[in-house]
């Protein structure tokens, strides 16, 4: 079984999130999403519209996501990769190069963000 791991805040869940999660799920057999906790977001100077629990419920209901885990620190990624036997760590290309240090533990992939088109009004 090929396990994929990604992280994010996933606040105000939208079609771009769905498209990204779908693409990530196609990289393997199981997609795990590390979801930034409210405390972790606060430490990054961010706040979410939805609470961690609400965002986790939304993500868990997405057919492309197999497991949601809390993200409490930047440093936990290596431990999560080992704990969940991750084969591919994947993020959007806006993080390109940021997680290359994890390449000794698994494949690291940066996917281009999908385009979201909006109809003209």
Of 21, 18, 14, 117, the residue nearest 5 (C-alpha): 21
Q: Annotated catalytic sites, by residue?
A: 44, 46
Contact partners, residue 70, CB within 8 Å, separation at least 6: 34, 35, 37, 52, 56
Alpha helices (H) in 1-121, listed in sequence order? 15-25, 38-43, 52-60, 77-83
CA distance to 77, 92, 93, 94, per residue, from 98 (Å): 12, 11, 10, 9
59 contacts 36 by C-beta, under 8 angstroms: no
């Amino acid at each position: 079984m090929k396990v994929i791991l990604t992280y994010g805040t996933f606040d105000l869940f939208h079609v771009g999130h769905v498209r990204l999660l779908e693409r990530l799920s196609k990289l393997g057999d199981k997609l795990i999403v590390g979801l930034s906790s409210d405390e972790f977001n606060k430490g990054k100077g961010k706040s979410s519209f939805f609470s961690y629990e609400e965002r986790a419920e939304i993500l868990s209901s997405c057919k492309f996501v197999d497991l949601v885990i809390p993200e409490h620190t930047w440093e936990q990624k290596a431990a999560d990769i080992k704990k969940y036997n991750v084969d591919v760590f994947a993020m959007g290309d806006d993080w390109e190069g940021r997680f290359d240090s994890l390449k000794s533990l698994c494949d690291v992939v940066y996917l281009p963000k999908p385009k979201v088109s909006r109809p003209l009004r």
